[in-house]
Structure 1
Amino acid sequence: MPTTASPLSAYPPLNVRVHTPRLSLLGATDELLERLVPVVRKGVATGPPWPFDDPMSLYEDGPEREWRWLRGIWSGRGRVSAGSWRLYFVVTVGGEPVGMQDLIGVDFGTFGTVTTFSWLSPDVRGSGLGKEMRQAALHLAFEGMGAGEAGSDAFVDNHASNRVSEALGYVPNGVSWDTRRGERAQIRCWRLTREEWAKQRRDDIELVAVADCLPVLGIDPPLPG
């Protein structure tokens, strides 16, 4: 159910919202990030499947980790161009922050391709929210931005993420490598075309303030239909 909107920002990407019957993706304002900090504190990895190495550093606890996480998002919000952008969304359920869902585009004007990245509070994993928030992000990409294809990557032992990709119609797209805890590990790559997404397109997802955001990302409004 849609949550009460915060006052509009002068920066359009922070005003974008995606609502489904179960959750909302809200542009990651500083106010929402502050509310998400307690959830970040719960997310220290204590067992497999181990996550990516990133500024959030899920392998340690303490304020330095939270500072790196915030700086990573602030930095990413500031590095936006037609050639490369990343939209950060706080996932809320019943108005309470429970995780993040990112949508990433590289040379989107040329390739029309996006990728996604997400994480959830340990308290709500296994409840189907991971699939729901991915569907929300895909609706934004395909319906709101006119994307032609979406990709997703996950370590081969991240069964939850890989199951979501398979359930949503992605097909295997090879393998790659990344690091976790400083050691290399194999990544399973997935690909979802616009045609496959359209077969499962939902009519109960609401997009808000997307049109105002498109010029910031160098995206032309998608054609109807």
Structure 2
Amino acid sequence: MSTDLYPPLSLKIITPKLALHGATDELLAQLLPIVRDGVGAQPPYPFDDPMSLYEDNPIRERKWLQSIWRGRGNVRPDFWRLYFVVMLGEQAVGMQDLIGVDFDTCQTVTSFSWLAPSARQQGLGREMRAAILHLAFEGFGAAEAASEAFFDNLPSNRVSESMGYQPNGSNWATRRGEPAVLNRWRLKRDDWELSRRSDIELIGMNGVKDVLHIK
């Protein structure tokens, strides 16, 4: 898809450690070998159902791409999803998504991410979250960000806690067909402001808010 026809594909978020690039098909192709090898194949399983990344290869790759293509086209005032490829220099190592949930009325977002196994335990998860929160609060004027993680997904829960999110109850979900408890987290704009960063840059914002029906 042309970046002229869909401005979010031109969007970039730059931090001192990494960059989030709008997920063009060319960048998604760079992630295919990682998806092929598996990013959530070992317990504790991080994703709730339904999840294409749990499918058997090569079905996994096809369903993963199709879900992203569908998401690009499913843009409404009350729901949208932006997909970003995480770049370390010229290397694609994962994805970071931002989802608008009732954004037209409540200005609320949530996020989703994954990293290649080789890129984990380097502090990148926190940096990715900081980048996407900067887009949500600074770029789009969000009022609140939410996050969810299974109770045994310690890295994700630690990222949320370290960035000022507050516990917001729990819920049940299934992963690979088995029930488990999801921890819910909530970050209000005022709390984000307390630790907002000045070293994160937004590039290519022209036209993005119009596409997402953000005034």
- Give me the TM-score of the superposition, normalised by structure 2: 0.95
In 1: Cα distance, 2:26 partner to 2:4 partner: 12
Contact map agreement 1:18 1:206 (CA 8 A) in 2: yes
Task: Confirm or deny that 1:213 pairs with 2:213.
Answer: no
SS at match of 2:211: helix
- What does the per-residue CA deviation read over 1:35-89, in whole Å, with 9 as the maximum and x for residues that have no partner? 110111232534321122334233x542111000000100111101111100000
1:194-205 superposed matches below 5 A: 194-205=189-200
Contact map agreement 1:18 1:207 (CA 8 A) in 2: yes
Structure-1 residue corresponding to 2:127: 132
Identical columns (%): 58
Contact map agreement 2:39 2:115 (CA 8 A) in 1: no
Between the two proteins, the alignment pairs up a number of residues equal to 213
Structure-2 residue corresponding to 1:141: 136
Q: RMSD across aligned C-alpha pairs, in angstroms?
A: 1.3
- Give me the TM-score of the superposition, normalised by structure 1: 0.91
Alpha-carbon shift at residue 159 of structure 1 (Å): 0.4
Name structure 1 gaps, 5 residues minimum. Answer: 1-6, 221-225
SS at match of 1:57: helix
Alpha-carbon shift at residue 10 of structure 1 (Å): 2.4
SS at match of 1:65: helix
Give the alignment partner of residue 103 of structure 1, picking from 82, 91, 98: 98
Contact map agreement 2:172 2:180 (CA 8 A) in 1: yes
Name structure 2 gaps, 5 residues minimum. Answer: none
In 2: Cα distance, 1:12 partner to 1:128 partner: 29
Structure-2 residue corresponding to 1:117: 112
Give the alignment partner of residue 75 of structure 1, picking from 61, 70, 76: 70
Contact map agreement 2:38 2:53 (CA 8 A) in 1: no
Give the alignment partner of residue 25 of structure 2, picking from 25, 30, 33: 30
